[in-house]
Amino acid sequence: MKPGATISRIEGLSVWRAILMLGGVVLHGAMGLEHLPVFVAIPLISHAFRMGSFMLISGLLCGHALGRRRSPLVWLGRRSVQIGVPLLFGLLVICPLIGWMIGDLADPTHGPFTLAHDWYHLWFLVALLGYAPLSYAFHRLDQRRDLIGTLERILANARGEAGSVQTVALLASAFACCALMMMTRQILAGHAPTPYASALSHVQLMLGYAPFYLLGFILARSPMLYRAVTASIRTPLIILTAVGGLYACWFGGMGSRLDPTEQAVLGDLIELVGMSLCPPAASVLILRSAVAIRTVPPIVRRLSDASFTIYILHFPVIIAAKLALLNVAWNPYVEFLIAIVVGSVISYAAHALLVDRYPAISFILNGKLADPVRAKIAASA
């Protein structure tokens, strides 16, 4: 894409997906600084909408990509490779490295590898790997039962009620997310082995965000639903404002009036409500914004292209930077900026100097197949 060239809605969404992914660098830069209010607000805001919206946009982009393939099974295989290879590298190399730095490694006598107790920031790859067959299954079911066609006919009979359709779509996906997260918590409560409790806690996110991914996938297939969901910003703004007010009241001081147990239980419930309501509402604003994007500055385009590599690699770099600064009396805001800059620059340099130049490294870190293989797959798709 040439600098200054007009871009499509899909390309605009790809840029937004990269922005949401790179927001993780800011989130992880705030680690260890939670004693300051601003660094408490960063994870609250991020957890409220960032990855949920990321999953919805990923579902929408996958819906478009799968719809263009003549062979859905080939798409599933390619998608599994694109996600599975970086995930495998992360689990065998990046996560153990992080575990070694923070002293969180499993007992090596229990298996052939010294694995970390957690998959840390790479949990989203596990989720996307699971959503791929979900996409394929829905695609095949739609081919056999005409699910999207039925939905389009229902929406055609509900003309003039776009606001109601939008409200139902947003609240239904939010309710499904909240229900799945709560059920997962109940199932795992008391059954998760202590060393792996952190890793298993991400299962609620993987299952809870599935409705958002599915909503995005359906939006890609149903033009009428897409128009209805993005028709207005009124309801999304009401939802985001209400959740923001609730967060401000609770975390701004109301919660401190209760005893620690009640504060923890209600605070956790309020966060769960925010994580359920905010992603679909914020996604409406993102989808409308993607349509409005006409050009992408060269630096944004380069960061977007490198966003996957940056997200995969930045976490251990930030941890290393924070460990190096542990015994230095830095101003916490300076430490925050140093962590972000170091994590971003080193990860971007790895992308520009290695991933972009060497197909083998591109395959390992980004799951990109070598050109001959990609051409063969494209020819069979």
**H or E, element range at 100:** helix 95-102
Q: Find out whether 67 and 148 touch, Cβ atoms under 8 Å.
A: no
Let me know: does 72 contact 145? Beta carbons within 8 Å.
no
Residue 20 lies in a domain: yes
pLDDT, tens digit, 9 for 90 and up, residues 181-232: 999 998 888 777 777 777 888 999 999 999 999 999 999 999 999 999 999 9
Average pLDDT over residues 294-302: 87
The answer to whether 219 and 226 are in contact (CB under 8 A) is: yes
What residues contact 173, with CB distance under 8 A and at least 6 apart? 211, 212, 214, 215, 280
The answer to whether position 1 is within a domain reads no
Per-residue pLDDT, 296 = 84
The pair of structure tokens assigned to 37 is 């209010």
Q: Which amino acid is at 257?
A: R
Question: Is 95's pLDDT higher than 50?
Answer: yes
Question: Does residue 122 form part of some domain?
Answer: yes
**pLDDT at residue 379, as a whole number:** 42
pLDDT digits (tens, 9 = 90+) for 99-152: 888 886 665 544 444 567 789 999 999 999 999 999 999 999 999 999 999 999
More confident residue, 112 or 259: 259
> Considering only CA atoms, which of 210, 220, 209, 228 is closest in space to residue 169?
228
User: Exposure string (b/e) for 139-175, b if CB count within 10 Å is 16 or more?
Assistant: beebeeeebbeebeeebeeeeeebeebbbebbbebbe
Encoding tokens for residue 175?
A: 């309710």
Q: Residue 371's pLDDT is what?
A: 58
Question: Which domain covers residue 24, as residue numbers?
Answer: 9-380
Residue 3 domain flag: no
**pLDDT tens-digit map of 266-294:** 999 999 999 999 999 999 999 999 988 88
The region that residue 120 occupies, defined by phi over 0 for left and psi between -120 and 50 for alpha, beta otherwise, is left
Nearest to 207 by CA among 239, 169, 181: 181
Phi first, then psi: give them for residue 212, nearest 5 degrees: -70, -45
Q: Which among 45, 28, 47, 49 is positioned nearest to 37, based on CA atoms?
A: 45
DSSP-H helix ranges across the chain? 9-29, 37-67, 72-89, 95-102, 123-145, 147-156, 162-188, 197-201, 203-208, 210-221, 223-229, 234-251, 260-292, 298-324, 332-350, 359-366, 371-380
Dihedral through CA 270, CA 275, CA 276, CA 278, nearest 10? 110
Report field, pTM of the whole predicted structure over 0.75: yes
Q: Mean pLDDT, the chain, as a whole number? A: 89
% of the chain exceeding 90 in pLDDT: 69
| 366 close to 308: Cβ distance less than 8 angstroms | yes
Contact assessment for residue 338 and residue 321, using Cβ atoms and an 8 Å cutoff: yes
Listed range (23-37, 171-185, 324-338, 367-381) with the worst mean pLDDT: 367-381
Task: Tell me which of 82-96, 167-181, 224-238, 248-262 is least confident.
Answer: 248-262
Query: Which tokens in the block code for residue 90?
Result: 């992360």
Q: What is the average per-residue pLDDT within 227-244? A: 96
Question: CB neighbours (10 Å) of residue 371?
Answer: 9
Q: Is 353 exposed, middle or buried (0-12, 13-18, 19+ CB in 10 A)?
A: exposed
Q: How far apart are CA 164 and CA 301, in angstroms?
A: 37
Domain count, the chain: 1
- The residue written with tokens 């925010």 in the block is 274
In a domain, 2, yes or no: no
* Region of residue 331 (left: phi > 0; alpha: psi -120 to 50; beta: else): beta
Let me know if residue 279 belongs to a domain. yes
Mean pLDDT in residue range 54-63: 97
Higher pLDDT, 192 or 89: 89
Quick check: is 63 in a domain?
yes
Query: Letter for the amino acid at 175?
Result: F
Q: Which residues of 68-85 are buried (b: 16+ CB within 10 A; e: fewer)?
A: ebeebeebbebbbbbbbb
pLDDT of residue 380: 42
pLDDT at 8: 75
> Is the residue at 178 inside a domain?
yes
pLDDT value of position 106: 60
Return the bridge partners of 116, or none.
Answer: 105
